[in-house]
Amino acid sequence: MSGPEVYADLSFLINFLMDFLILWASASLAGITVRYKRIALASLLGGIYAVGFLFPGLEKYYSLPLKILFSCLMLMIAIWPQNWKEFKKAFIYFYFINFLVAGATIAASYVFNRNPWDNSFTIWYLLVGIACALAIGRFGKTYLVNKLIPSMLNFDIELRFDNNSCKGCAFLDTGNNLRDPLTNRPVIVAEYQFLKTCLPADFTSVVDKLQNEKEMLDALIDTGWAKRLRIIPFSSIGRKNGMMLGIRADQVIINNGTEDLFYANTVVGIYNEKLSAEDKYHFLIPSQMLQEG
């Protein structure tokens, strides 16, 4: 029994079209400027590469590592990333969308193909793949980037100080590399206004009254929480040698979705502004804490 016939021109057209849509969707989700000429050029190379598999003797160029390297080349041509972070984001979205489109196409083959032993191509498979890629590129950012991913990175948190506790929502901040200078342990960042209810009156009166960091520290040394104080060095845009006021919490409890993780004597950095303009979260937790937990 001979296998189904595969036409080079049809294979090129299908791969060109799907590569174009997937690269476009990847750039859209990654928030990178869509450059249609570059995407078309990368898709052209992808179509040619796909056709090469049909010719005898070229199979050695289609190993998994070479396929991944070629996809990296396509991404470089299509989006021209400005840095490694931008490329990494596009790369993840590229393969994520590829798997989704492939899964949708396989599902369509079971829906539209009455004969389970017939693997021949039908136009329905292509249409489902196209529809899936278009939907991801058009609506994916609204749902995936703005809703699904943030919901996966939000965690319930509770901070305990003596007999007081503060509960709220924390966001997993992979860029939070703050460390307690004394213990070298990760530091949580909290909004002062949200944390204020847990702090004693003599402490909050100083923070509310004084803005100068040195004067504030000198005054806080005379409060009942002097032993909890920390000064946390940090660097940010426009401020290379900043200092953040921190306090030691007796216990921090983070729910990771399946269980409560307990951390004793964790330092909390006090941030005077809002962490989320929409009030979606009031704490930032470093990824190292969940890894260590």
Between the two ends of the chain, the Cα-to-Cα distance in Å is: 57
Is residue 190 within 8 Å of residue 247, measured between CB atoms?
no
- Looking at the 3D structure of the chain, how many domains does it have? 2
Residue 93 domain boundaries:
8-152
| Distances from the Cα of 252 to the Cα of 151, 200, 226, angstroms | 21, 18, 20
Listed residues 152, 181, 204: the one ending a domain: 152
In a domain, 139, yes or no: yes
Do 165 and 141 sit in the same domain of this protein?
no
Q: What is the pLDDT along the chain (293 residues), one digit of tens a residue?
A: 444 445 677 788 888 988 999 999 898 888 888 899 999 999 999 999 988 887 887 888 888 889 999 999 999 999 888 888 889 888 988 998 888 888 777 776 666 665 544 545 566 667 777 888 888 777 766 666 566 666 667 889 999 998 888 899 998 887 778 888 888 889 999 999 988 888 888 888 888 887 777 788 888 888 888 888 888 887 765 556 678 888 999 999 998 877 888 999 999 999 988 888 878 889 999 888 876 65
Do 226 and 242 sit in the same domain of this protein?
yes
Rounded Cα distance between 200 and 203, Å, is 5
Listed residues 152, 182, 204: the one ending a domain: 152
